[in-house]
């Protein structure tokens, strides 16, 4: 743990995660003159409490939690917030670089009037000149696009065999699991197909879902369907995306989709949405992609469907017990594609999320955050 720029009387910002060191706001005279900056490397709760006690007179007014936030010490739980060393009196806000805020006790924050802000890039920000709108949605959609291509074409499995054998003919024959010439259109008993003209259902149509729909429609030539609680009025009729209500009526429609992509948040309502009943109604040899949250999949039901061949391919970027990768998903080598929750992991998002988080701190501390609809306030 180390600290810098500690000047008596000024409000202090604690960084518990590394920001983008080239950040315009971080290096601005306005930010440097307005705040003391303390940096704290989180290892344990006890270490965090000791750090806070050491700096109890620093008027800690904001915490930059970045991406990892407080995961390493079990989340921002009530016992941390209620601890005698936690700066409840002076702390005005905590800012995240991620959209997710699992592991945060929102009620405890609310009780102490501590604001929590997450990442949002769906509207312009006056403190950032070159904000790229929907950057996260675009980059996560790229990740989903890769998983979908993996499901239809199995490129990574072919690459794996090509590296192992060093021979294109042998690699294709090995993939087909038969003797003689193999064209490459089979992996075992599975047929390799083009996604063109196939139907894809997107569960949830937020920024990620919309960006993905455009990429699938105009990039891969797929027919787009989306499912949410109500029809999205912002979708142009020219897009020709078909709406389905996210309720029990969806079951009877699932049989028609070649691919289903999950971009829903993890909530009590979506937990185990993809269960045995859901999969029972789905098309045989389904391509299922999860970019939402790990808890949306009932792992036992999904594993059983993979074993029986009902799911042709499972692509995941999120996991049930993160940061641990589900063992039963790892074991299905040629039937799965796995990315370690890096859907939005680009230089563009890292830099922009830092700028937005620092902008929130400036706005809150200067009293400009009164119009809450302009800001990504969670609590």
Q: What is the pLDDT of residues 53-106, one digit of tens each?
A: 999 999 999 999 999 899 999 999 999 999 999 999 999 999 999 998 888 999
- For residues 65 and 71, give the distance between their C-alpha atoms in angstroms, rounded to a whole number: 10
Answer yes or no: do 203 and 329 share one domain.
yes
Answer yes or no: do 149 and 92 share one domain.
no
Length of the chain: 379
- For residues 113 and 69, give the distance between their C-alpha atoms in angstroms, rounded to a whole number: 19
Question: Averaged over 246-273, what is the pLDDT?
Answer: 97
Answer yes or no: do 20 and 64 share one domain.
yes
- For residues 354 and 345, give the distance between their C-alpha atoms in angstroms, rounded to a whole number: 13
Q: Is residue 85 part of a domain?
A: yes
What is the reported pLDDT for 129? 86
Catalytic residue among 223, 341, 355, 360: 341
Residue 229 is among the residues annotated as catalytic for this protein: no
Report yes or no: 256 and 199 within 8 Å, Cβ to Cβ: yes
Answer yes or no: do 214 and 354 share one domain.
no
Nearest Cα neighbor of 136 from 322, 317, 368 is: 317
Count the neighbouring beta carbons within 10 Å of the beta carbon of residue 218.
11
- For residues 351 and 135, give the distance between their C-alpha atoms in angstroms, rounded to a whole number: 11
Residue 322 is among the residues annotated as catalytic for this protein: yes
What is the reported pLDDT for 7? 56
What's the gap between Cα 192 and its chain centre?
29
What is the reported pLDDT for 236? 83
In percent, the amount of the chain with pLDDT more than 90 equals 86
Count of alpha carbons within 13 angstroms of residue 123, beta-carbon side: 5
Catalytic residue among 55, 172, 244, 293: 293
Q: Between 107 and 371, name the one with better pLDDT.
A: 107
pLDDT band at 3 (very low <50, low <70, confident <90, very high): very low
What is the reported pLDDT for 368? 72
Q: Is residue 184 part of a domain?
A: no
160-219 pLDDT, tens digit each:
999 999 999 999 999 999 999 999 999 999 999 999 999 999 999 999 999 999 999 999
What is the reported pLDDT for 320? 95
Catalytic residue among 111, 193, 322, 351: 322
Number of domains in the chain: 2
Answer yes or no: do 41 and 142 share one domain.
no
pLDDT band at 139 (very low <50, low <70, confident <90, very high): very high
Answer yes or no: is pLDDT of 1 > 80: no
- For residues 58 and 8, give the distance between their C-alpha atoms in angstroms, rounded to a whole number: 7
Nearest Cα neighbor of 117 from 341, 291, 323, 358 is: 358
Residue 125 is among the residues annotated as catalytic for this protein: no
Q: Between 132 and 3, name the one with better pLDDT.
A: 132
What's the gap between Cα 338 and its chain centre?
14
Count of alpha carbons within 13 angstroms of residue 129, beta-carbon side: 3
**Domain of residue 308, residue span:** 135-154+192-338
Answer yes or no: do 294 and 147 share one domain.
yes
Answer yes or no: do 251 and 142 share one domain.
yes
Q: Is residue 281 part of a domain?
A: yes
Q: Is residue 178 part of a domain?
A: no
DSSP 158-223: HHHHHHHHS-HHHHHHHHHTSSS---S-EETTEEP---TT-EEEEE--SHHHHHHHHIIIIII-PE
User: What does pTM read for this prediction?
Assistant: 0.92
Question: Would strands 286-290 and 199-203 be described as parallel, antiparallel, or unpaired?
Answer: unpaired
Answer yes or no: do 89 and 145 share one domain.
no
288-342 pLDDT, tens digit each:
999 999 999 999 999 999 999 999 999 999 999 988 999 888 989 899 999 999 9
Answer yes or no: do 289 and 358 share one domain.
no
Answer yes or no: is pLDDT of 235 > 70: yes
Q: What would the two tokens of residue 163 be?
A: 């590296």
Answer yes or no: do 93 and 142 share one domain.
no
> Distances from the Cα of 229 to the Cαs of 144, 206, 277, 344, in angstroms?
22, 12, 19, 25
Lowest mean pLDDT among 124-128, 147-151, 334-338: 124-128
What's the gap between Cα 236 and its chain centre?
26
26-63 pLDDT, tens digit each:
999 999 999 999 999 999 999 999 999 999 999 999 99
- CATH code assigned at 225: 3.40.50.720
Answer yes or no: do 140 and 288 share one domain.
yes
Report yes or no: 85 and 52 within 8 Å, Cβ to Cβ: yes
Answer yes or no: do 38 and 100 share one domain.
yes
Percent helix, percent strand, percent coil in the chain, to nearest 5: 35, 20, 45
What is the reported pLDDT for 100? 87
Q: What would the two tokens of residue 379 be?
A: 């609590």
What is the reported pLDDT for 123? 87
């Amino acid at each position: 743990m180390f600290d810098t720029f500690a000047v008596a009387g000024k409000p202090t910002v604690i960084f518990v995660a590394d920001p983008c060191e080239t950040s315009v706001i971080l290096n601005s005279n306005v930010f440097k003159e307005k705040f003391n900056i303390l940096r704290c490397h989180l290892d344990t709760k006890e270490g965090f409490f000791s750090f806070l006690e050491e700096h109890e007179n620093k008027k800690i007014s904001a915490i930059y939690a970045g991406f990892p936030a407080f995961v390493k010490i079990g989340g921002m739980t009530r016992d941390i917030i209620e601890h005698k060393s936690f700066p409840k009196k002076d702390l005005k806000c905590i800012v995240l670089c991620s959209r997710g805020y699992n592991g945060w006790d929102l009620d405890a924050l609310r009780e102490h009037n501590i604001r929590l802000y997450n990442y949002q890039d769906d509207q312009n920000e006056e403190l950032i000149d070159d904000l790229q709108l929907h950057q996260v949605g675009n980059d996560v959609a790229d990740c989903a696009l890769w998983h979908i291509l993996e499901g239809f074409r199995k490129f990574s499995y072919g690459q794996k065999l090509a590296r192992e054998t060093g021979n294109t003919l042998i690699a294709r024959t090995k993939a087909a699991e038969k003797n003689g010439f193999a064209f490459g259109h089979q992996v075992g008993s599975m047929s390799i197909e083009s996604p063109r003209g196939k139907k894809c259902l997107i569960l949830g149509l937020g920024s990620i879902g919309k960006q993905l729909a455009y990429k699938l429609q105009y990039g891969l030539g797929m027919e787009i369907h989306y499912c949410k609680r109500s029809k999205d009025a912002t979708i142009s009729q020219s897009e020709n995306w078909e709406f389905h209500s996210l309720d029990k009526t969806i079951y009877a429609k699932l049989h028609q989709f070649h691919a289903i992509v999950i971009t829903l948040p993890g909530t009590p309502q979506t937990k185990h949405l993809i269960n045995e009943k859901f999969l029972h109604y789905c098309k045989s040899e389904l391509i299922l992609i999860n970019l939402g949250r790990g808890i949306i999949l009932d792992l036992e039901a999904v594993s059983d469907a993979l074993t029986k061949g009902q799911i042709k391919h499972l692509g995941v970027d999120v996991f049930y017990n993160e940061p641990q990768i589900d063992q039963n998903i790892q074991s299905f080598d040629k039937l799965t594609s796995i990315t370690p929750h890096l859907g939005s992991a680009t230089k563009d998002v890292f830099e922009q999320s830092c700028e937005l988080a620092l902008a929130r701190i400036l706005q809150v501390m200067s009293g400009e955050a009164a119009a809450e609809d302009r800001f990504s306030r969670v609590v």
